[in-house]
Structure formats: structure tokens, C-alpha cells
């Protein structure tokens, strides 16, 4: 089955963001907790848990470092979710992204500059990323379908995709925590 192949490949190619080498191919990528690392939502999440899954039309050209890049929280759902989960532990302060004309400046918040550094360091210390290459003949629709099937079977902890969010038992807590960050960003701009 394709989902087992995806899982096996993502695990076998998993490495730190600086050490992974992505091929020039479309595919699916996954972000995991490193062995021996943990994160807490309502309970401590098991070691080596799948946190996030995404697709790419070209794994080599896709800038995965964006997810790990300091200052990129406003454009990375992984960073926003992790930041919300780690807000108290890392003492992160949410602020709006972009300028007044950015309609998503509060919903796609970011963190204070020093806090962006803390979040990136935590990610580098605690996460690994791997990939699976799709067949060359696959269209984007097939890739999205495989991502959906993989997500349904493996239930990534940070999954908040509207298609599969209902299957994630941690989504309600993550929603509450991201709402706290959104509200803080709204209050920050007023003050």
C-alpha cells in the first residue's frame, strides 16, 4: 500500500533540516520529533511522533527551511502551531505579521524577534524531516490524495487541514492555543 511506502521512506530519509538532501521530484514530506525528544499537549506526545505532513510539487525547490527559519512564523502553519504549544514553555509573545493591509496579520501571527530565534532553536534541537518521492507520472491531485490517505492513517499531531482535522484528537487544544496567540497579536497592535 502507498501509505506504508510513504511512511517507510519519510522515516528512512529523516534528518535534521541542515542535513537532509531533497531530490528534484514531487512528493510528500513529514516532520517528526527526534528520538528522545517530546512535546506536551494534553499529555506528553510519544517519542518520534509524526507532527506534520505536507506535499511539494518539487521537493528540491520547496524551501523547507521556511518552516525552520527565524521570522517565518507568519507563513508557516507548523511554526504557528508549535509556537502556540510552546508559548508558555519558551515565553513567546505573539505579534501581528505584515502591515495594516495584510488581512491575515492576526490569524497568521508571528512572534517577537527574540522569540522567533527561541522557536527556531527548539525546532532544530527537537525535530527531523524526511520525504517520499511520488512517481513522475503523478499529477498534483494524486499527490494530494496520497497525502490525505497518509494523514488519515498516521494522524499527524499538528494536522489542522480542514479535510482531516476532525480525525486529530489534539486539534481542539491546538485551536484554543492558536486563538490565544491571535488574540495576543490583536492586543499587541492596539497597545
Quick check: 82 and 170 in contact, CB under 8 A? no
pLDDT at 89: 94
Averaged pLDDT, groups of 10, the chain, 191 residues long: 90 88 90 88 76 89 71 85 95 91 90 94 93 94 95 92 91 95 86 48
pLDDT at 47: 63
pLDDT at 42: 77
pLDDT at 162: 92
Amino acid at each position: 500500500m502507498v501509505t506504508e511506502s510513504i511512511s517507510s521512506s519519510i522515516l528512512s530519509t529523516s534528518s535534521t533540516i541542515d542535513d537532509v538532501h531533497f531530490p528534484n521530484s514531487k512528493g510528500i514530506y513529514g516532520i517528526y520529533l527526534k528520538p528522545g525528544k517530546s512535546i506536551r499537549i494534553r499529555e506528553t506526545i510519544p517519542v518520534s511522533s509524526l507532527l506534520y505532513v505536507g506535499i511539494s510539487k518539487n521537493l528540491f525547490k520547496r524551501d523547507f527551511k521556511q518552516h525552520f527559519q527565524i521570522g517565518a512564523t507568519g507563513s508557516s502553519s507548523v511554526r504557528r502551531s508549535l509556537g502556540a504549544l510552546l508559548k508558555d514553555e519558551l515565553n513567546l509573545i505573539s505579534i501581528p505579521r505584515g502591515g495594516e493591509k495584510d488581512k491575515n496579520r492576526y490569524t497568521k501571527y508571528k512572534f517577537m524577534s527574540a522569540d522567533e530565534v527561541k522557536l527556531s532553536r527548539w525546532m532544530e534541537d527537537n525535530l527531523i524531516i524526511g520525504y517520499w518521492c511520488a512517481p513522475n507520472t503523478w499529477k498534483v491531485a494524486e499527490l494530494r490524495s496520497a497525502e490525505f490517505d497518509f494523514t488519515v492513517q498516521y494522524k499527524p499531531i499538528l494536522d489542522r487541514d480542514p479535510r482531516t482535522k476532525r480525525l486529530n484528537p489534539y486539534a481542539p487544544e491546538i485551536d484554543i492555543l492558536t486563538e490565544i496567540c491571535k488574540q495576543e497579536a490583536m492586543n499587541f497592535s492596539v497597545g
